[in-house]
């Protein structure tokens, strides 16, 4: 038998189909709706979502397929070679209109008061497929609402049981918190236990809901969609750099929604990025320049404020000045800070305020593999990271890799954190043994045998007093196994600031506090909560003159500063940030600057002019970018390995998910979230027993330059010999050393 001829224009894994008379070549096993979408042929749908598993339960996508006696659901019918499909035939349209009529039977039709009005899929499709008059005269079904937390509002009478939210919490978030209860006409969607949603991605159920059943509780009743202007922006609370839109009305950011970018955040957004805009309107927002007068403060004009700041910096010789920037500072502002420090003759400049070990001069580096490529790895080793809280959307990608590609994920951590993917292997050890754990033969063998292996080093490791040793071990592990090394940058723009030269040529942040300077310029920092070594930072800053460029005139800033200059937060300015892939991303100005606050680059330009420094003659942001370019130091200064105490428990410090920066800490809805836990000291049962402590008791904890009094929690997930705390709390900020001593209250 001779071979059949093949069409060389058609790839072997594709078939030809015809949709509405249009011939298409599509992949085998794809669904009709996927083929139609690629060709731009519209098919109505409710339950189908290209990121979720197929449910085929709404039947809105019924189409007419040749030789099939009944209409077929386009989302669940695979294409076959030679198939002919009609989406607009009489049979298809009649079927779609009948489905729409059934969907609207129990819907309350309360569009005038629904927050989804104007952007509702049901509203849009009912215009094209609905009847002008309902034939249903019976009483409509009413479903009681359920309080599922501070972020998502429910109106479940509007629910059409598309199950998108169920599939999201099951497949993407991995928390399985929503489900269908009862059967038939009594079916209801909700939680099984009546508790709030605990996933860090809960806001995405708002986006996938095609009706007004799940809406944004923070945005509820604030505005209509057509009143809003969309501004392109990016997330600035972690190094992912999620793409998003700020929805603004009259200068106020009212909500945040995802902006699709498959290379970064796909179509999702973490709750931290979605709801943090609430913090922009906090009561302690800095809105005018403030000058210290004795123990009090007075408002001043910009001329007075800049003159006072210039006087402080001018009064000190260059080496007596320290310049510290928050790692979420934009690249434009960072470049100007580097230019300012250079003009002042100071080599004491740093943005690595969360780090403790600078002995290897390490700075942020781009991931060796892109986010999309990490998802394709066969083996992933996570070292020193509560990655679910540190990078929620990278955690979601790892879950997708594990569930869809059977990626084997190993973790090396001081705490057995909760992840929503299955763990192939774990080594729970005190922080000082993270480096040694990477020498484990079985772990190395697992990575060496993989086609593509990745090792991800997170914040617990990067910010540990022995971080240099852990980084060296991770690098050696990657070299020995062929794994790609991906160190998570510690800050939304740590990469951009490193490229902009916001690095020390003389003293790093630790050395600036160990050898206090006479004056400091702090930029975008909440000094009582943002420094890794909170006790040392407070001691040094209180003894010096401090110029604070700040978003907030908070208590901790007032305690140490002499001048507070109000600057715009990222959603209020044009800016450039570099994400963990090394990709520069720019934002548009969204919200209006509050009061007399100004863009940071403008204030730095004015201060540079006041100091009569070269390079500050620009007048726009393009000039600011040019002026700040190319000021990186030739070498990055290093300092000795920090000397930690030899007695006591090792401290494992992870960042509290909703306490990562000043803006997030002021977002009321996030502070009410179940994941936002009160400060506490978590001990292994054996260590708690040895210290004579029980859960609920209060312990006095001492370490480094500070001490704290914290309630005790007992959890076997903590490695023996370690004590776990979360940073971002005033109660835990004094504890910065590698070891702590714990005693009863």
What pLDDT, on a 0 to 100 scale, did the predictor assign at position 705?
A: 65
Strand partners, 552: 285
Average pLDDT (566-586) is 96
Looking at the predicted structure, is the pLDDT value of residue 643 above 80? no
**Lowest mean pLDDT, pick from 10-14, 344-348, 509-513, 581-585:** 10-14
Looking at the predicted structure, is the pLDDT value of residue 201 above 70? yes
| Model confidence, pTM | 0.94
The chain-wide mean pLDDT, for the chain, equals 93
Q: How many CB atoms lie within 10 A of CB 716?
A: 12
Which parts of 543-661 fold into alpha helices (H)? 555-560, 600-610, 621-628
Look at phi and psi of residue 157 and say left if phi exceeds 0, alpha if psi is from -120 to 50, else beta: alpha
What pLDDT, on a 0 to 100 scale, did the predictor assign at position 2?
A: 43
Instruction: Quick: pLDDT tens for 152-198.
Output: 999 999 999 999 999 999 999 999 999 999 988 889 999 988 899 99
Average pLDDT (486-492) is 96
Looking at the predicted structure, is the pLDDT value of residue 6 above 70? no
Instruction: Quick: pLDDT tens for 414-440.
Output: 999 999 999 999 999 999 999 999 999
Instruction: Quick: pLDDT tens for 259-297.
Output: 999 999 999 999 999 999 999 999 999 999 999 998 899
CA atoms of 386 and 389, how far apart (whole Å): 6
CA atoms of 629 and 461, how far apart (whole Å): 31
Going along the chain from its start, the domains and CATH numbers come out as 14-105 (3.10.20.740), 290-359+494-628 (3.40.50.740), 371-487 (3.40.228.10), 649-744 (2.40.40.20)
Looking at the predicted structure, is the pLDDT value of residue 87 above 80? yes
Phi, psi torsion values for 409, nearest 5 degrees: -110, 125
HEC profile for 336-373? Answer: HHHHHHHHHCCCCEECCCCCCCCCCCCCCCCCCCCHHH
Residue scoring higher pLDDT (457 or 696): 457
Looking at the predicted structure, is the pLDDT value of residue 1 above 50? no
What pLDDT, on a 0 to 100 scale, did the predictor assign at position 632?
A: 61
Contact 214, 206 (CB under 8 A): yes
3-class DSSP assignment, residue 340: helix
CA atoms of 92 and 98, how far apart (whole Å): 10
Instruction: Quick: pLDDT tens for 220-266.
Output: 999 999 999 999 999 999 999 999 999 999 999 999 999 999 999 99
């Amino acid at each position: 038998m001779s071979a059949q001829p093949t069409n060389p224009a058609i790839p072997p894994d594709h078939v030809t189909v015809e949709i509405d008379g249009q011939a298409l070549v599509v992949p085998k096993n794809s669904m009709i709706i996927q083929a139609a979408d690629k060709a731009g042929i519209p098919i109505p749908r409710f339950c189908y979502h290209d990121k979720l598993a197929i449910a085929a339960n709404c039947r809105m996508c019924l189409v007419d397929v040749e030789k099939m006696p009944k209409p077929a659901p386009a989302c669940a019918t695979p294409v076959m070679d030679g198939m002919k499909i009609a989406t607009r035939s009489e049979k298809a349209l009649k079927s779609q209109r009948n489905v729409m009529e059934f969907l609207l039977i129990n819907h309350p039709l309360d569009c005038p008061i629904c927050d989804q009005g104007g952007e509702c899929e049901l509203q849009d499709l009912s215009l094209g497929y609905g009847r002008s008059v309902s034939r249903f005269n019976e009483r409509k079904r009413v479903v009681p609402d359920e309080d599922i937390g501070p972020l998502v509002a429910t109106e479940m009478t509007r629910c059409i049981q598309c199950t998108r939210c169920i599939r999201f919490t099951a497949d993407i978030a991995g928390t399985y918190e929503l489900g269908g209860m009862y059967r038939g006409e009594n079916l209801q969607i909700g939680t099984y236990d009546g508790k709030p949603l605990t996933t860090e991605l809960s806001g995405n159920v708002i986006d996938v809901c095609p009706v007004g059943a799940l809406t944004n509780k923070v945005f509820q009743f604030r505005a209509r969609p057509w009143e809003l202007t969309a501004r392109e922006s990016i997330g600035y609370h972690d190094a992912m750099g999620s793409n998003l839109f700020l929805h603004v009305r009259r200068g106020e950011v009212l909500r945040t929604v995802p902006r699709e970018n498959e290379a970064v955040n796909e179509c999702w957004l973490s709750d931290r990025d979605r709801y943090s805009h609430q913090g922009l309107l906090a009561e302690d927002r800095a809105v005018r320049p403030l000058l210290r007068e004795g123990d009090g403060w007075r408002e001043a004009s910009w001329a007075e404020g800049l003159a006072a700041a210039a006087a402080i910096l001018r009064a000190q010789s260059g080496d007596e000045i320290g310049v510290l920037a928050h790692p979420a500072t934009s690249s434009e502002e960072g470049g100007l800070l580097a230019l300012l420090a250079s003009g002042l003759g100071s080599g004491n400049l740093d943005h690595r305020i969360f780090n403790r070990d600078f002995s290897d001069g390490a700075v942020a580096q781009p991931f060796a593999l892109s986010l999309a490529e990490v998802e394709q790895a066969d083996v992933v080793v996570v070292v020193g990271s509560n990655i679910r809280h540190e990078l929620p959307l990278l955690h979601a990608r790892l879950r997708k890799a594990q569930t869809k590609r059977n990626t084997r994920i190993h973790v090396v951590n001081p705490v057995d954190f909760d992840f929503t993917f299955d763990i192939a292997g774990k080594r729970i050890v005190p922080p000082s043994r993270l480096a040694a754990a990477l020498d484990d033969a079985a772990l190395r063998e697992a990575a060496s045998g993989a086609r593509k292996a990745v090792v991800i080093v997170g914040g617990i490791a990067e910010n540990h007093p022995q971080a240099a040793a852990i980084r060296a071990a991770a690098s050696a592990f990657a070299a020995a196994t062929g794994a790609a090394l991906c160190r998570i940058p510690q800050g939304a723009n740590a990469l951009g600031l490193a490229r902009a030269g916001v690095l020390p040529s003389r003293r790093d942040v630790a050395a600036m506090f160990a050898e206090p300077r006479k004056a400091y310029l702090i930029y975008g920092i909440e000094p009582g909560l943002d420094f890794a070594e909170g006790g040392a930072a407070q001691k040094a800053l209180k003894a010096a003159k401090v110029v604070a460029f700040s978003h907030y005139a908070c208590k901790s800033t007032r305690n140490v500063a002499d001048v507070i200059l109000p600057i715009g937060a990222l959603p209020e300015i044009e800016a450039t940030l570099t994400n963990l892939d090394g990709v520069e991303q720019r934002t548009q100005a969204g919200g209006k600057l509050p009061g007399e606050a100004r863009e940071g680059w403008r204030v730095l330009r004015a201060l540079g002019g006041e100091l009569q420094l070269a390079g500050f003659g620009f007048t726009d942001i393009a000039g600011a970018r040019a002026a700040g370019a190319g000021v990186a130091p030739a070498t990055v200064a290093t300092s000795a390995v920090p000397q930690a105490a030899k007695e006591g428990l090792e401290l494992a410090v992870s960042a509290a998910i909703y306490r990562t920066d000043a803006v997030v800490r002021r977002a009321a809805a996030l502070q009410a979230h179940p994941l936002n836990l009160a400060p506490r000291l978590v001990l292994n049962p054996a260590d708690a027993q040895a210290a004579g402590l029980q859960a609920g008791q209060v312990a006095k904890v001492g370490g480094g330059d500070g001490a704290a009094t914290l309630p005790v929690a007992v959890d076997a997930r903590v490695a023996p010999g370690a004590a776990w705390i979360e940073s971002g709390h005033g109660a835990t900020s004094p504890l910065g050393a590698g070891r702590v001593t714990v005693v009863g209250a």
